Chain A
Amino acid sequence: MSTRATRLFPAVMLSGLLAAAPVAAQTLDDKVNEIFASSTGWFVSFIFSNFPGTSFPWIVAWLVIAATVFTFYFGFVQFRAFPHSIALVKGDYSDPNDAGEVSHFQALATALSGTVGLGNIAGVAVAVGIGGPGATFWMILAGLMGMASKFTECTLGVKYRNEYPDGTVSGGPMYYMTKGFAERNLPGGKVLAVLFAIFCILGSLGGGNMFQANQAHAQIANVVGDYPGWITGVVFAGIVFAVIIGGLKSIASVTEKVVPFMGIIYVGAALIILLMNFQYIGTAFGQIFEGAFTGLGIAGGMVGALIQGFRRAAFSNEAGVGSAAIAHSAVRTKEPITEGYVSLLEPFIDTVVICTMTALVIIITGQLVTDPETGLLVLNEAGTAIQTIDGNSGVALTSAAFSSVFGWFRYILAIAVILFAFSTMISWSYYGLKAWTFLFGEGHAKEVTYKVIFCIFVVIGAAANLGPVIDFSDAAIFAMAVVNIFALYFLMPVVKKEMNSYMSRLRSGEIKKFV
């Protein structure tokens, strides 16, 4: 293992552009961390720069405005079409003769296993740990609005996908940017597609990879005690390598089958904890509403809570980012819009249900320290985050919250985190690969190159500190959203046409239920 790490180190140094002068006494983890932080800092500060003279990042406004525009443009489709979405997932409108093809349920489940993951466990803990209970309110709101963004991008993903003669399909923002823009005689589709593909590759290495490896390591270290992060990284990279390069499909398919059950266990445990503490639920919601508009003493007040909530919601459900459009585009359907309806359930399940559970458990179990006299939250010494009972943050905070009720839950959570991290990595390696082949063309050598890079970043992610990794992960994923949402504005009339035509045929009875 150590030889592998030393062989890998030159690559790490290169990618870090030799930015930091290593000090002899530093550990490998420290070096990786330092190089990483200094080489990605400029990108992070650009994406998260504030509007001049305010403390409000433009990227957060960009996402929220888009979700609001889509919500109004499609007439609150996320609420009106919700029952129809459920009927589609149940298969009420699926032709039995198409059995054996990818069902709506399967496309939704696969897309969900790419998004349900650390964002729901660690990301929410970060949001609540910095933004206070009020961040939950903004997170739920962002989740509800994000349903409209998801609806738009997934419909387009199916409509403009490429279908090859051998029956395989490739879809995603790259394809609707090129084909959709050409169809509407708009210039610049190709430029957008290339930009998106670049950011998608970065995002696949950041949020889809390093953040996962990082938090998986934190979780294992939390259970077995501290040890160097690169060890976790090398083990994880080895398994990912076996699956995506070695073609060891069995590991991936076992994970895909276990992950949904882990999700159910997670939500089930959260519900039990909430029921056991039902007398505090009212207080918790009180804190959430009050905190949403006052901040309850956190750094940045209401805006601070709002930014944390929106950021973590977007990072968790990926609405507007464009990744889901890649996952959903392979479904078998004659109507692209049906996949849009199905996909709008994704932010709902991911953010409005699962993320909210995590937040409520953290708040209800009293992990955040409040001043008994003022009722305000107490900040840590640096004033950057809220004081927690044991000084936990990220996934360790969630773990502490669940374990305060069920002592054994930290082990379950550790397994869940590792599996979620792994399934998210597999999904994102696929998204990144699709972007990579879009840029460089298909071919064995090209695909293996990407996959090897992906595995190297697993090690970097596990070794670096949470701060720089989480910043870079967010920045790369939000950069995808910048390009994707820009394209969505130009293509949203296409979706509206599809929606109106489908809805009128549904009402006239031309589209029938099979069940």
Chain B
Amino acid sequence: MSRKIVVGFDGSEASRRALDFAVKRAKLQGDNILIAHILEWSPYSFLTPSEIEERHRRRKEELERAESAIITPVIKAIEAEGVPVTAMMKYGHIAETICKISESEKAELIIIGRMGTSGLSSRIFGSVAGTLAQIAPVPVTIVP
């Protein structure tokens, strides 16, 4: 039975490296890939009345843009290499949402890239890779 690998993907250089790494593995071992695209979102942020009015429309636009600009091109490229691939787009806290997806989709591995920030900002704000390493329910591979 083939394993499912969740790859955190936001279109950045780092996430492309992670995806390339994942595709190579999947090809060798016959795994399939689930691309997780998370849009950072907190239900506890503050909005103005007009932002609230437009929120539903904006959300639709954001999802459509993410699908056409980020997800569809990579799915085509991966399918061309013969690796089975699906994609998911979710709003939420990036690391927590990736964990939830891994659980609900019964994935066996998470692969993510790292931004390579070090020092003060990641000490204060934390990093996705660091958080995942702490809280992930399945093994995590961090691609430098």
Which residues of the other chain, A, contact B91 by a CB distance below 8 angstroms?
99-100
Residue among A105, A110, A253, A330 making CB contact with B44, cutoff 8 Å: A105
Please encode chain A, from 373 to 412, with 1 for each CB lying within 8 Å of some chain B CB and 0 for all others: 0000000000000000000000000000000000000000
Residues of A within 8 A of B54 (CB): 167-168
- In the complex, A113 has a CB within 8 A of chain B: yes
Is B124 located at the chain interface by the 8 A CB criterion?
no
B43 touches A256 (CB 8 A): no
What is the minimal beta-carbon distance from A339 to any residue of chain B, in angstroms? 12
Q: Given A96-B92, A99-B91, A168-B54, do A430 and B49 touch, yes or no (CB 8 Å)?
A: yes
| Residue in B47, B49, B50, B62 whose CB lies within 8 Å of A100 | B62
Partner of B47, one of A91, A99, A256, A431: A256
Task: Tell me if A427 is interfacial: C-beta within 8 Å of chain B.
Answer: yes
Task: Determine if B44 and A426 form an interchain contact, defined as CB atoms under 8 angstroms apart.
Answer: no
**Contact across chains for B46 and A113 when beta carbons are under 8 A apart:** yes
Of the candidates B45, B53, B92, the one whose C-beta lies within 8 Å of that of A168 is B53
Closest to A255 in B: B48
Residues of chain B within 8 A (CB-CB) of A168 are: 53-54, 56-57
Within 8 A of B (CB), among A304-333: 326-327, 330-332
Is there a chain A Cβ closer than 8 Å to B25's Cβ?
no
Interface size class of A (residues with CB under 8 A): 35 or more
Asked if B106 is at the interface (CB within 8 A of a chain A CB), the reply is no
Which residues of chain A come closer than 8 Å to B100, judged between CB atoms?
96
Indicate whether B3 reaches chain A with its CB closer than 8 angstroms: no
Smallest CB separation, B81 vs chain A (Å) = 30
**Are B56 and A332 touching (Cβ within 8 A)?**
yes
Hey, what's the 0/1 contact readout for A103-114 against B, CB within 8 Å counting as 1? 101110110011
CB distance from B112 to the nearest CB of A (A): 20
Name B48's contact: one of A101, A105, A167, A256 (CB within 8 Å): A256
What separation, in Å, do the CA atoms of A260 and B44 have in the docked complex?
A: 11
Candidate in A106, A169, A260, A426 with the most chain B CB atoms within 10 angstroms: A106
- B55–A94 touching, CB < 8 Å: no
Complex Cα gap A445–B44 (Å): 35
Task: Select A253's contact among B48, B53, B90, beta carbons within 8 Å.
Answer: B48
Determine the distance from Cα of A170 to Cα of B60 in the docked complex, in whole angstroms.
18
Given contacts A96-B100, A102-B56, contact A110 B43 (CB under 8 A): no
| Chain B residue nearest in CB terms to A428 | B49
Which residues of chain A are near B63, meaning CB under 8 Å?
A: 100
In B1-59, the 8 Å CB interface with A consists of 39, 41, 43-57, 59
- Report whether B46 and A170 are in contact in the complex, using a CB–CB cutoff of 8 Å: no
Determine whether the beta carbon of A426 is less than 8 Å from that of B49. Answer: yes
Given known contacts A99-B91, A100-B91, A170-B53, A109 and B60 CB-to-CB distance under 8 angstroms: no
CA distance A253 to B49 in the complex (A): 10
In the assembled complex, the Cα of A144 lies from the Cα of B141 at a distance in Å of 54
Question: Could you tell me which residues of chain B, from 90 to 134, have a CB within 8 Å of some CB in chain A?
Answer: 90-92, 100
Q: Measured between C-beta atoms, what is the minimum distance from A316 to chain B in Å?
A: 19
A100–B59 CB distance below 8 A? yes
What are the residues of chain A within 8 A of B60 when measuring CB–CB?
167
Q: Does A249 contact B (CB under 8 A)?
A: yes
B55 pairs with A330, CB closer than 8 A: yes
Q: Residues of B contacting A170 with CB < 8 Å?
A: 53
Q: Which of B43, B46, B52 contacts A330 (CB 8 A)?
A: B52
**A4 interface residue (CB < 8 Å to B):** no
Interface size on B, residues (CB 8 A): 25
Q: How far is the CA of A327 from the CA of B52 in the complex (A)?
A: 9
A7 close to chain B: CB less than 8 A:
no
Once A91-B43, A106-B46 are accepted as A-B contacts, the answer to whether A101 and B59 lie under 8 Å apart by CB is yes
A426 to B51, CA, bound (A): 12
A166 within 8 A of B: yes
- What B residues does A109 contact at CB under 8 A? 46-47
Nearest residue (CB) in B for A429 is B49
List chain A residues, Cβ under 8 A from B90. 99
A408 to B40, CA, bound (A): 39
State whether the Cβ of A334 lies closer than 8 Å to any Cβ in chain B.
no
Query: Which residues of chain B come closer than 8 Å to A101, judged between CB atoms?
Result: 55-56, 59
A107 touches B48 (CB 8 A): no
Which chain B residues lie closer than 8 Å to A114 at the CB level?
49
The closest CB in chain A to the CB of B50 belongs to: A430
Least distance between A100 CB and chain B CB atoms (Å): 3
Complex Cα distance, B48 from A260, in Å, reads 12
Is residue A257 within 8 Å, beta carbon to beta carbon, of the partner chain?
yes
Residue A252, interface by CB 8 Å: yes
| Binary contact readout A80-124 vs B (1 if CB under 8 angstroms, 0 otherwise) | 000000000001001010011111011101100110000000000
CB-nearest residue of chain B relative to A327?
B49
Bound Cα distance A406, B43 (Å): 35
Q: Cα distance A100–B100 when bound, in Å?
A: 16
Note all chain B residues with C-beta closer than 8 A to A327: 49, 52
Contact flag A106-B45 (CB < 8 Å), given A99-B90, A330-B53, A430-B50? yes
Ordered by A's residue number, 12 sampled pairs between the chains whose C-beta atoms are within 8 Å are A99-B41, A100-B63, A103-B44, A109-B47, A110-B48, A167-B56, A249-B48, A326-B49, A330-B52, A332-B55, A426-B48, A426-B49
Q: 10 shortest A-B CB distances, which residue pairs? A: A100-B91, A167-B57, A103-B43, A99-B91, A430-B49, A167-B56, A330-B52, A256-B46, A100-B59, A102-B55
List A residues at the B interface (Cβ < 8 Å): 91, 94, 96, 99-103, 105-107, 109-110, 113-114, 166-170, 249, 252-253, 256-257, 259-260, 326-327, 330-332, 426-427, 430-431
Given A249-B51, A431-B49, 20 more pairs with CB closer than 8 A: A94-B43, A96-B92, A100-B62, A100-B63, A102-B47, A103-B44, A105-B43, A106-B45, A106-B46, A109-B46, A110-B48, A110-B52, A114-B49, A168-B56, A169-B56, A253-B47, A256-B48, A330-B53, A330-B55, A430-B49
